[in-house]
Structure 1
Amino acid sequence: MAALGDLIEIDDRTVLVLGRELDLDHGRPDVANALVHRAGDTLVLVDTGVTTAFRAALREATRRVGPWSRALLLTTHGHPDHVGNNDLVDELGVPAEHYVPAPDLDQMRDPVAYWARSLARVAGVVPVPDPAGAAEGLMALFSPMRPFAAGTRTYEELVPERIRIGSTRFGGWSFVDGAVRVLRSQGHCAGHVIVHLRDCGVLHLSDEGNGACGAMVDADQLKIQTVLGAVARIFEEGEASFLTDGHTFAVRGGAEAVAYLDGLLERACALQEAALALTGREGRARPEEFTAGYARALAASDAAGANPNTLFTAMSAVNQLRELGLRPESEDLRAPWSRPSPHDRA
C-alpha cells in the first residue's frame, strides 16, 4: 500500500512523489502528488504538496533525477494541498523560477476567504453554521504553508503560445526549449493548468480528473470534460505515454490511460443523468434532499473522486444543480431550486 512520500520512478530522470488522502476525522490534510523531472540541466518540479514529511520526499526525488544546475517550479493551481512547499526552490542553491496561475493568486494569498465562499454555498445543506470559521479550521491543517518563492511570477506575464500536441491544440506556455509544456485547462478551478513533459511522455492532469463534477466555487464542468476528452485524444494518438494526476497515486500508460479518461467522462454523464432525474419533471429540488440523492448516485457510480466526504459531496451537488440550469428561488439557504422558464419575464 502506497504511503506519503513514496516514489514511483517513471524513468531515470522522472519521479512521481505520492501524496495522501484527506482525513478530516483525524485532522490530517491531504497532500497532492508531485512530479520531479530533469529536462537537460533543468530540474522541473510540478507542484510541491504540503507538510515537512512531503518536503523531505521531494528533496530525495530531486537527488534521484540529478544532476541539474537550474530549477523550474510549475504550480498547477492554488489549492493548499499543492502549494505548501513552494519555497523549496529557494533552498536548492541554483537559479530558480516559479510560475503560478494569475486567477489563483487571490486564493493563494487568502485561502480562508476562498474556502469560506465555497462552504457558504452549502451552509443550508450540511451543518456549516460558520463558513469562515470552518474554512479557517480546515486551512489550519495545511502547515507549514509557503505558497510563494522569492521569484514567483504568473504564467500570464509570459507571451501566450498556441501549443499543438498531435491534432490537439491548446493555449499555454512552453519551457526548456519546448521540453515542458504548460496547457491551460481551468476546469477544477479558475487558474488550473496541466503539464506535458515531452521527453518522457508524461502528461500530468493534476486535479482535472478529480471527481465527475467539480466541487469548488470556481469550477467549470464544461472545461473539465473538454480537457479530459482532449487528453484522451493525445493518448490515442500516441503523443503521450504516461498519465499522472494529483490524487490517484498511480501511473497509467497508453490504453489504460484512455480507458481511465473515458471512464471519467462516462461517469460524469451518468451522474448528470441521475441528477436530472432527482429534479423531477418540473425541474425543481430542495437542496438538502437533492444532495442526499446525489450522494447515493455518487456511491453507485464510483464517481466521488479524491477525498470523498460530506462537505465536498454537498459542494459538488450545488454545482450540479447549477449545471442543470437551476437557481435558488430566494436567498434563504434552504430555499428550493428551480429552472427558470424561457418564457418568464426578467
Structure 2
Amino acid sequence: MTALGDLIEIDERTVLVLGQGLDLDRGQPDVANALVHRAGETLVLVDTGVTEAFRAALLEAAARVGPWSRALVLTTHGHLDHVGNNDLADGLGVPAEHWVPAPDLDQMRDPVDYWVRSFARVAGPAALPDPARTAARVVSLFSPMRPFGRTTRTYEERPPERFRTGPLRSTGWTFADGAVRVLRSQGHCAGHVIVHLPGPGVLHLSDEGNGPCGAMADADQLKIQTVLGSAALLLEAGEAGILTDGHTFAVRRGAEAVAHLEGLLEQAAALGEAALGLVGEGKPVTPGGFAARYGRAMADLGIGGANPNTLFTAMSAVNQLRELGLRPESGAVDAPWSRPPLRNPEPAAPPTG
C-alpha cells in the first residue's frame, strides 16, 4: 500500500516520488508521480505535483540524491496534478531553469477554461447540468497552484534537436550536457513530452501511459499508441531499462515494462473493436447511450486506466466516437453522432420550362 510522498529509490541518484489518485467524492486531488534525479551537479525535477505535502516529499528526495549546485525543473504537460509546485525552481537557493511545453501555456494560465471546454463535450453523456460549475469545483481541489516561476520558459524557445536512440528517431531537446533528453510526444494532451535519462536508463512516460484511450479534448489517440510502441522499442533495444509514469505507483524494469506497454496496446485494439461493434451499421448513436455501453465494455475487458470514474469514461467515449469517424449532427446536448456521407449530395437538376 502506497501513500502520497512515498519514495521509491531507483538508484543512489534517482528517486520516484509517489502521488495519489483522484477522489472527487472526498475532495481529494490526484497528484502525479514526480521523478527526481541528479545529473552531475544538476538536480533534475520532472514534474512537481501539487499540495504542500508533496512539495515536502520533493525536497526530501532532492536532499537524498544530492549534493547539487544548480537545478533543472521540467514540466511534462500542463495538467493541474503536475504543475502545482513549479515555483520550487525559485526557492532551491541555486541557479535554476524551468521549462514547460508552449502548447499547454493557455491551460496553465486558465485551467478553469480548459476544463470547461473538456467537460462541455460530455454534458449529456456524463449528466453534467453545469460544466462550468463542475470545472471550477475540480480546479479548486488543486491548491496551492503555482505553475510558473521567475525562470519559466518554453521548450519551443530552444532549437529542436534530432535524436537517434538505438532504433528510434525522435525530436526534442537535451539538457545537463546530454544527461537529460526531453522527447516530444503530444498524445495525452497538446504539449505533452516524455523524459529519457540515459545514465540510469529511465524512461518517464508521465501520462502517455494512462490508458488505451485518452480522455482530454486535446488528446491524440494515434500519438498515444505511437509513444507506447516507441517506448517498448527502446526497452527491447536496451536503450532504457526502467519505465516510470505519472499515475501507476510502480517502477517497471525490462521485460515487465515491455509487457506492460504491450498490454496497453492490446487493450487499445480490443477497446476500438468493441467500440466499433457498439456503433453498429451506420445508425446514429447518442453519446450518452454509447458512453454507458462503452463503460460496460471497458469493465468486461478489464480496462481501467488512471483515475477511473464515470466522468473520465464519458470523456474517453466521446474521443472514441471521433476516432471511429463519427461526428455530431448538431450542437445540441447529447445530439446524435453519425458518419459523414462519403460523397457530396448530387446537385439538384435545374428547373425546366
TM-score by length of 2: 0.97
Equivalent residue number for residue 87 of structure 1: 87
Where does residue 252 of structure 2 map in the other structure?
252
Residues 158-169 of structure 1 correspond to what in structure 2 (within 5 A)? Answer: 158-169=158-169
C-alpha separation between the residues in 2 aligned to 1:330 and 1:52? 45
Q: Paired residue for 1:12?
A: 12
C-alpha distance in 1 between matches for 2:158 and 2:260: 33
Counterpart residue type for residue 154 of structure 2 = T
**Other structure's SS at 1:132 match:** helix
Q: Hey, what's the Cα distance between the residues in 2 that align with 1:88 and 1:102?
A: 20
3-state secondary structure, aligned to 1:293: helix
1:262 positional shift:
0.4
Query: Counterpart in 2 of 1:304?
Result: 304
For the residues of structure 2 that align with 1:300 and 1:208, how far apart are their CA atoms? 23
- In the TM superposition, 1:97-246 aligns within 5 A as 97-246=97-246
Question: Partner residue of 2:264?
Answer: 264
Structure 2: state its 5+ residue gaps. Answer: 347-353
SS in structure 2 at match of 1:171 = strand
* Alpha-carbon distance in structure 1 between the residues aligned to 2:130 and 2:284: 27
Between the aligned partners of 2:258 and 2:344, the Cα distance in structure 1 is 43
3-state secondary structure, aligned to 1:163: strand
Taking the aligned partners of 1:118 and 1:57, their CA distance within structure 2 comes to 31
In the TM superposition, what is the alpha-carbon distance from 1:341 to its structure 2 partner?
A: 2.2
1:253 alignment partner AA? R
With 314-323 and 299-308 compared, the bigger mean Cα shift is at: 299-308
Which residue type is aligned with residue 136 of structure 1? Answer: A
C-alpha separation in 2, matches of 1:203 and 1:173: 15
Q: Which residue of 2 aligns with 1:32?
A: 32
Structure 1 residue matching 2:343: 3-state secondary structure: coil
Report the alpha carbon displacement of residue 132 of structure 1 after superposing the two structures with TM: 1.3
Cα distance in 2 for residues equivalent to 1:178 and 1:221: 30
Q: C-alpha root-mean-square deviation of aligned residues, in Å?
A: 0.9
Measured in 2, the distance between the counterparts of 1:288 and 1:24 equals 21
Q: Which residue type is aligned with residue 287 of structure 2?
A: P
Q: Are 1:36 and 1:44, in contact at CA under 8 Å, matched by a contact in 2?
A: yes
Question: What TM-score do the two structures reach when normalised by structure 1?
Answer: 0.99
Query: Helix, strand or coil: the match of 2:98?
Result: strand
Report the CA distance between 1:92 and its aligned residue: 0.6
The answer to whether the Cα contact below 8 Å between 2:89 and 2:151 also exists between their aligned partners in 1 is: no
Distance 2:301 2:60 in 1: 38
Aligned to 1:47: 47
Contact 1:268 1:303 in 2 (8 A): no
Query: What is the CA distance between 1:47 and its match in structure 2?
Result: 0.1
3-state SS, counterpart of residue 45 of structure 1: strand
Which whole-Å CA distance do the structure 2 matches of 1:332 and 1:345 have between them? 24
What number of residue pairs does the alignment pair up?
346
2:227 maps to amino acid:
V
Look up the match of 1:67. 67
CA apart distance, 1:117: 0.1
Q: How many Å separate the matches in 2 of 1:21 and 1:113?
A: 23
Cα distance in 2 for partners of 1:50, 1:268 equals 30
Distance in 1 (CA, whole Å) between partners of 2:190 and 2:303 is 22
Superposition deviation, residue 133 in structure 1:
1.4
Q: Is the 8 Å Cα contact of residues 283 and 326 (structure 1) preserved in structure 2? A: no
Matched letter for residue 324 of structure 1: L
- How far residue 283 of structure 1 moved from its aligned partner, in angstroms, is 5.0
Residue type matched to 1:146 in 2? R
Amino acid at match of 1:265: L
CA distance in 1, matches of 2:113, 2:131: 9
Q: Deviations over 1:85-119 (max 9, x none)?
A: 00012111000000000000000000000000000
Q: Deviations over 1:120-140 (max 9, x none)?
A: 000011221111111111000
- Spell out, residue by residue over 1:13-71, the C-alpha distance to the aligned partner (whole angstroms, 9 max, x if none): 00000000000010000000000000000000000000000000000000000000000
TM superposition shift of 1:304: 2.4
CA distance in 2, matches of 1:46, 1:272: 32
**TM superposition shift of 1:282:** 1.6
